[in-house]
Amino acid sequence: MNKIALITGASSGIGKASAVEFAKHGVDIIAIARRLERIVDLKDELEDKYKINVLPVKLDVRDKDAVLDYLQNLPDRWKNIEILINNAGLSKGLEKLQDGKIENWELMIDTNIKGLLYVTKAILPGMIERNSGTIVNIASIAGHETYIGGNVYCATKSAVLQLSKALRMDVLGYDIRVVSIDPGMVETEFSIVRFDGDKEKADKVYENITPLSAKDVAEAVWFAVSRPKHVTIEDMVIMPTQQASAVLNVKNYK
- For residue 34, state whether it binds ligand NDP (rule: CB under 6 A): yes
Strand 83-86 with 54-58, pairing: unpaired
How far apart (Å, rounded) are the C-alpha atoms in residues 55 and 169? 31
Chosen from ligand NDP, ligand 8X3, none, partner binding at 246 (C-beta under 5 to 8 Å by type): ligand 8X3
Q: Which of 4, 5, 6, 11 binds ligand NDP (CB under 6 A)?
A: 11
The SS3 call for residue 83 is strand
Is 111 a binding residue for ligand NDP by CB under 6 A? The answer is yes
End-to-end C-alpha distance for the chain, whole angstroms: 54
142 counts as binding ligand 8X3 under rule CB under 6 A? yes
Name the minimum Å distance from CB 185 to ligand 8X3: 6
- Position 61 contacts ligand NDP (CB under 6 A): yes
Residue 14 touches ligand NDP, criterion: CB under 6 A: yes
Q: Which of 47, 175, 189, 219 binds ligand NDP (CB under 6 A)?
A: 189
Q: What is the sign, positive or negative, of the torsion defined by CA atoms of 14, 16, 18, 20?
A: negative
Q: Provide the mask over 139-168, with x wherever binding to ligand NDP is found by CB under 6 A and - wherever it is not.
A: -x----------------------------
For position 137 contacting ligand 8X3 by CB under 6 A, the verdict is no
Binder among 140, 156, 158, 164 for ligand 8X3 (CB under 6 A): 140
SS (H, E, C) 33-59: ECCHHHHHHHHHHHHHHHCCCEEEEEC
CA 73, CA 67: separation in Å to the nearest integer? 10
Query: How many angstroms separate the CA atoms of 156 and 115, rounded?
Result: 11
Instruction: Give the number of C-alpha atoms closer than 13 A to the C-alpha of residue 132, restricted to the C-beta side.
Output: 9
Positions touching ligand 8X3 (CB under 6 A) are: 140-142, 150, 185, 246
